[in-house]
Amino acid sequence: MFRLSDELLLESYVKAVKLQLDHEFILLVENELSRRGLDCYIKISS
């Protein structure tokens, strides 16, 4: 995921959550957000 800008990654994450895409995909994006130090944007899921 090195080729995506932080902004595009965040936008993709928000849309994936909103559209309730596959949980594994959302976890993959969350892991990349964490790796980039952007985990403050991860929605806490119950």
Range of the domain at 25: 6-41
Residue 27 falls within a domain, yes or no? yes
If one counts the domains in the chain, the total is: 1
pLDDT tens, position by position, 22-38: 999 999 999 999 999 99
pLDDT tens, position by position, 11-25: 999 999 999 999 999
Q: What is the pLDDT of residue 46?
A: 30
Q: What is the pLDDT of residue 41?
A: 86
Helix %, strand %, coil % for the chain, to 5? Answer: 65, 0, 35
Residue 46 falls within a domain, yes or no? no
Residue 16 falls within a domain, yes or no? yes
Residue 20 falls within a domain, yes or no? yes
Q: What is the pLDDT of residue 2?
A: 59
pLDDT beyond 60 at 6: yes
Q: What are phi and psi of 37, to 5 degrees?
A: 80, 25
Check which CATH number belongs to the domain holding 25 and give it: 1.10.287
Residue 24 falls within a domain, yes or no? yes
10: pLDDT confidence band, cut at 50, 70 and 90?
very high
Q: How far apart are CA 41 and CA 46, in angstroms?
A: 16
